Amino acid sequence: MFEYYNYIKALHLIFVITWFAGLFYIPRLFVYHIEAAQKPEPEKSILVNQLKLMTKRLWYIITWPSAILASIFAFWLLFIMPFWIEQDWMLVKLGFVVLLYAYHIKCHLIFRELQNDVVKWSSNKMRIWNEGSTIILFSVVFLVILRDALNWIYGVIGIILLSVILMMGFKLYQRIRSQDPKA
């Protein structure tokens, strides 16, 4: 089984990438959907129907299958290399995976609401929500690459700084957009 390790690892990584691609794009589609719901008819109906179709295809054809396949290949890797589960970095990574699934499930709940024409989020709050998967991705990549060399204090400070930079970028975007609505 070990001779297939690199193939399994490659497949795991491919599906992690496609999973994140879906998680990066779905909140962006939610933003467009929320903004389209505020437009006058017939523009509203045309845009909302198209965005519902786009999100449904992204969610069920790319994002959910990628999440499931990434997890299957991850469990397979842990089966081949069971000693990883005893390493601190792997336990922390699994914690981030649980957090990622929580983010994914919340996105699914938002998806279902929007599919039923229930809009509870503002486009600005959805833009902030969109950064959640980015923070998780940065955390996991640095954790996996650095493993035991990771200094937890610097890691926590780095994630906080990343979050602050993302928020500052969001605020700057809001300011630019309020001055030029076409931005």
If one counts every other C-beta atom within 10 angstroms of the C-beta of residue 140, the result is 19
In order along its 183 residues, the chain shows pLDDT tens digits of 678 999 999 999 999 999 999 999 999 999 999 999 999 999 999 999 999 999 999 999 999 999 999 999 999 999 999 998 888 888 888 999 999 999 999 999 999 999 999 999 998 889 889 888 888 888 888 788 777 655 666 776 777 787 788 888 878 877 887 787 665
Tally of domains within the chain: 1
Domain span holding position 86: 2-179
Contact predicate 63/23, CB 8 Å: yes
Annotated binding site for heme: 12, 93
This prediction's pTM: 0.84
Annotated binding site: 12, 93
Cα separations (Å) of 92 from 34, 35, 75, 139? 35, 37, 16, 10
